[in-house]
């Protein structure tokens, strides 16, 4: 458990985020500070230091975006991070070698093997819908249209001499920033500028709604007390509860009292909806299917509790959980005492039969054994 805490997925994402923020801050500091200090300042040209400042801020921004993508377990984000971490380390050296920039270098170097160690954790494919592709294409198309048109009509504008000038003018026009340093000097230029404004604003609005919509929906899901797929992928050392019924309710209450992270997998949509209303993370799926168990992170779980109220279903769920995580500790609640050994053979480490325990206490109490009632009280007393 300690190893996962220090070297697991959460630690990896956290370190990458820290590197990203540090890279951005160091870059901004070197942009606004004309004279850089540090043991390496005299060996690095000032122009290289300032260039590293600009690129460092950009690298930090990209790495921060990559860290959020890592939270979703995306493989493309892992590749992006592996490429950018050596860049941030080099930028930290170039930016004068101050204590802050050297800290950026050191942390980048330490983060790289941590990211490499968790390669298999980031295995999700980057899926993008047709509407998102269309929105992204519209955004790019609007920028290309404005850049090419402005450059072709550069005689109709002041201060447009290069493609970079045309790109800059299109960007500030489409985003409605409009600094005013470039403007149309003819009717043709003004008409074209209006077309760039209309096309650019429309494409920006379409892209914002389509590309950012899933992220907004994820925030609503978090506000309503449910976990998104990315949050489920970040779970570690948690308990996976397979099934929900009369036997499961006391288990959930105990887990809540112990403030333990857990997730419930139940095939009954009404019961999962009820659990979500109680701010309990639950998904509707067959507990014996591989896909839902994989989505709730059974491979990273510290324990699995199987209590579906159906011993046959329990056995299938145990087999699936054991196959996905051979090392996890599996506890099963047997409905019938004759199925205790069967569930053990299916792969459960511990099998508890409430009926057997209750019957044993009743019989021992009937035989005059003292202390049976106090044992039962300890097992059922909510105040204990």
pLDDT tens sequence across 132-145:
778 788 888 999 99
Token pair listed for 131: 């509407």
Predicted confidence at residue 380, as pLDDT, reads 45
pLDDT digits (tens, 9 = 90+) for 207-257: 777 766 655 555 544 444 455 555 666 677 889 999 887 777 888 888 888
Distant-in-sequence, close-in-space partners of 246: CB < 8 Å, separation ≥ 6: 309
Pairing of strands 329-333, 282-284: unpaired
Angle between helices 187-223 and 163-174 (to 10 degrees): 60
For residues 252 and 258, give the distance between their C-alpha atoms in angstroms, rounded to a whole number: 10
Predicted confidence at residue 214, as pLDDT, reads 59
Q: What residues of the chain score a pLDDT lower than 70?
A: 1-6, 31-53, 96-98, 125-129, 211-234, 354-384
Predicted confidence at residue 215, as pLDDT, reads 57
Q: Where are the beta strands (DSSP E) in the chain?
A: 239-242, 262-266, 282-284, 303-306, 329-333, 350-352
Predicted confidence at residue 180, as pLDDT, reads 79
3-state SS, residue 370: coil
pLDDT digits (tens, 9 = 90+) for 343-352: 999 999 988 8
For residues 78 and 41, give the distance between their C-alpha atoms in angstroms, rounded to a whole number: 32
């Amino acid at each position: 458990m300690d190893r996962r805490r220090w070297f697991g997925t959460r630690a990896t994402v956290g370190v990458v985020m820290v590197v990203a923020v540090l890279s951005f801050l160091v870059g901004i500091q070197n942009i606004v500070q004309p004279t850089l200090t540090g043991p390496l300042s005299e060996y690095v040209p000032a122009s290289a230091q300032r260039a590293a400042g600009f690129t460092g801020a950009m690298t930090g921004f990209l790495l921060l975006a990559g860290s959020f993508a890592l939270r979703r377990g995306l493989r493309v984000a892992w590749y992006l991070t592996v490429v950018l971490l050596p860049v941030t380390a080099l930028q930290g050296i170039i930016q004068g070698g101050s204590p802050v920039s050297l800290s950026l270098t050191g942390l980048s170097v330490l983060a790289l093997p941590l990211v490499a160690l968790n390669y298999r954790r980031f295995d999700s494919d980057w899926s993008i819908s047709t509407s998102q592709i269309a929105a992204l294409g519209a955004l790019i198309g609007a920028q290309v249209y404005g850049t090419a048109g402005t450059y072709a009509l550069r005689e109709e504008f002041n201060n447009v001499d290069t493609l970079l000038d045309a790109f800059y003018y299109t960007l500030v026009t489409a985003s409605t920033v409009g600094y005013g340093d470039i403007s149309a000097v003819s009717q043709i230029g003004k008409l074209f500028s209006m077309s760039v404004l209309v096309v650019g604003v429309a494409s920006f609005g379409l892209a914002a709604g389509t590309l950012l919509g899933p992220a907004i929906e994820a925030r609503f899901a978090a506000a309503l007390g449910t976990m998104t797929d990315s949050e489920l992928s970040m779970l570690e050392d948690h308990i996976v509860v397979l099934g929900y019924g009369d036997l499961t309710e006391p288990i959930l209450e105990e887990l809540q009292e112990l403030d333990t992270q857990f997730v419930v997998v139940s095939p009954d949509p009404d019961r999962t909806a009820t659990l979500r209303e109680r701010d309990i993370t639950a998904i509707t799926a067959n507990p014996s299917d591989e896909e839902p168990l994989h989505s709730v992170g059974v491979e990273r779980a510290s324990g699995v509790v199987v209590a579906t109220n159906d011993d046959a279903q329990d056995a299938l769920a145990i087999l699936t959980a054991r196959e996905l995580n051979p090392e996890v500790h599996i506890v099963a609640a047997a409905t019938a005492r004759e199925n205790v050994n069967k569930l053990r053979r299916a792969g459960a480490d511990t099998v508890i039969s409430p009926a057997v325990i209750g019957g044993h206490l009743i019989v021992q109490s009937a035989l005059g054994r003292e202390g049976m009632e106090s044992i039962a009280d300890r097992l059922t007393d909510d105040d204990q």
